[in-house]
Amino acid sequence: MRVAVAGGTGVVGRQVVEELAAAGHEPVVLARSHGVDLVSGEGLGAALDGVEAVIDVSDRKAVSRGRAVAFFGSVSRNLLDAGARAGVHHHVALSIVGIDRVGHGYYQGKLRQEEVVRGGRVPWTVLRSTQFHEFVPQTLQQMPGPVAVVPRMNIQPVAARLVARHLVELALAPPRGMAPELAGPRVELLVDLVRRLLHARHERRLVVPVRLPGAVGAAMAGDGQLPAGAGPRGGRTFDEWLAGAVTRGA
């Protein structure tokens, strides 16, 4: 089966590609490095020739609401319109747990993505996942220097490999609309994970936890980003992931 992966060079996208190939399917990477511009739609038509399913894990680290909404809206429309013309049977999009409870600008973009997918002409499935383990080093990268200001946040981190496996399973199955939310095995405080990462790297930095103001901060510090219903749970814990990441020099 020929399956296109939008954002197939990213953290999850690479692993989706690997999972598809390991299962005997033909992955098609949709990314600029492969001649496809998801924002403009250039190259999409040719890339989707013969594709039966699309898995969208595209991403852009846009914090502002306007940029996030514009990016995810444009990419989703382009993928769905090109997919409908190419005869794609199933569109699978990766989203985030809690985007309808936390009014973050980036999350507004993901909500726009879900809205476009629901209104598209291709049968669809949306998988909401909690943050990946890689979210912790990404948080640190945004704050270079001796002090790391970390928002007070409850998360239930999940292994990116498990997310990739679920996306492939969903893409190969009939469309189901909103799939059960996927989360890792344990609820953690982001600030604790940051400290454990720094300790494992033998880095000395002052970690300052800060509660973001208003309703957004309250939701993040509470259960706003935790799964609200039943769904698949498990995979590697953060500490298990961290042991491997430090060995790899991540």
Residue 67: what are its φ and ψ, rounded to 5°? -70, -40
Q: Which amino acid is at 17?
A: V
CB contact at 8 A, 105 and 111: no
CB 41 within 8 A of CB 17: no
Residues of the chain falling short of pLDDT 70: 62-63, 246-250
pLDDT attached to residue 241: 94
Determine the pLDDT at residue 214: 92
The whole-number pLDDT of residue 184 equals: 97
How far, rounded to the nearest angstrom, does the alpha carbon of residue 172 sit from its chain's CA centroid?
Answer: 19
216, 103 Cβ separation under 8 angstroms: yes
**Tens digits of residue pLDDT in 196-223:** 999 999 999 999 999 989 998 999 999 9
Closest CA to 76 of 32, 46, 44: 44
* Residue 113 three-state SS: helix
CA distance 64 to 203: 31
**Hunting for tokens 């996942």 — which residue is that?**
129
Residue (of 153, 172, 140, 145) closest to 225 by Cα position: 153
CB 194 within 8 A of CB 136: yes
pLDDT for res 39: 96
